[in-house]
C-alpha cells in the first residue's frame, strides 16, 4: 500500500503554501552550509525544534526523520573524527541531522497531493512540449515510494529479529529487495492498465 509521511494537523505550518515551505527550507539549508559557524547551527537547531513544536509533532517524529540515515551519520562521524577531530565530527553530524529534520518537517506538514498540485501549477508556464502530467506522476510516485520502502524495511527487520536473524544482512536485504521490486512491478502494471505511460 502506498503511503505518505503527512501527519494530520491544523497548525500554521500545515496550512502554509507548499511553495513557501520549500522556499524557507531552501534558505535554511543554504544558510547552514554557507555559514559554517556553531552559532548558526545552534540557531538552526532551535528553529527546527520550534517548527516541530508549532506543528504539534512529537519527539518520535524527529527521531523518525533521522533514523533512516543513522548508519550514514555514524560513518560520517567516524571519518570526520579521524580527519578533523571530535569537535568538527560532532558539528558535521549535527548539521546533517538538522537538515534531515527540517526537510522532514516540510514532509510531515504537507500532503503529497498539495505538492503535486503545486508542481502542476508551476508547470503551466512551461512550454507545450514539456510532459506536465508525466512529471507530476513521477514526483507523486517518488513521494510515496520512499516511505513505502522504509515501511518494508521496518517490517522485514522486525520479522527477522523475531527469528533471531537481526544481524544477518543477507536475511534482511534480500526480502527487502524482492518486496520492493514486486511493488514496483505492481505500480508499473497499474500505470500501464490506465494508459498513463502514453
Can you tell me the mean pLDDT for 124-150?
A: 70
What share of the chain has pLDDT > 70, as a percent?
83
Instruction: Place 176 in a pLDDT band, splitting at 50, 70 and 90.
Output: confident
The pTM score is 0.69
pLDDT computed for residue 1 by the predictor: 35
Whether pLDDT at 195 is above 70: no
pLDDT computed for residue 53 by the predictor: 93
122-127's contacts with Cβ under 8 Å and 24+ in sequence apart are: 122/19
Instruction: Place 3 in a pLDDT band, splitting at 50, 70 and 90.
Output: very low
Can you tell me the mean pLDDT for 1-30?
A: 80
- Using CA atoms, how far residue 33 sits from 38, 55, 72, 87, 92, in Å, is 11, 25, 19, 17, 10
Q: Which residues of 127-149 are buried (b: 16+ CB within 10 A; e: fewer)?
A: eeeeeeeebbeebbbebbbebbe
Amino acid at each position: 500500500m502506498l503511503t505518505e509521511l503527512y501527519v494530520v494537523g491544523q497548525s500554521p505550518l500545515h496550512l502554509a503554501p507548499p511553495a513557501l515551505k520549500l522556499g524557507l527550507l531552501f534558505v535554511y539549508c543554504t544558510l547552514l552550509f554557507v555559514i559554517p559557524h556553531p552559532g548558526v547551527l545552534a540557531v538552526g537547531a532551535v528553529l527546527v525544534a520550534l517548527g516541530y513544536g508549532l506543528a504539534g509533532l512529537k519527539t518520535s517524529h524527529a527521531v523518525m526523520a533521522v533514523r533512516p540515515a543513522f548508519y550514514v551519520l555514524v560513518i560520517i562521524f567516524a571519518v570526520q573524527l579521524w580527519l578533523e577531530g571530535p569537535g568538527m565530527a560532532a558539528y558535521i553530524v549535527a548539521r546533517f541531522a538538522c537538515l534531515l529534520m527540517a526537510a522532514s518537517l516540510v514532509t510531515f506538514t504537507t500532503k503529497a497531493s498539495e505538492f503535486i498540485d503545486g508542481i502542476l501549477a508551476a508547470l503551466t508556464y512551461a512550454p507545450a512540449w514539456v510532459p506536465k502530467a508525466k512529471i507530476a506522476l513521477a514526483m507523486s510516485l517518488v513521494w510515496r515510494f520512499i516511505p513505502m520502502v522504509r515501511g518494508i524495511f521496518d517490517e522485514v527487520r522486525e520479522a527477522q529479529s523475531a527469528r533471531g536473524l537481526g544481524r544477518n544482512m543477507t536475511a534482511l536485504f534480500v526480502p527487502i529487495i524482492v518486496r520492493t521490486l514486486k511493488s514496483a512491478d505492481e505500480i508499473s502494471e497499474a500505470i500501464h492498465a490506465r494508459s498513463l505511460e502514453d
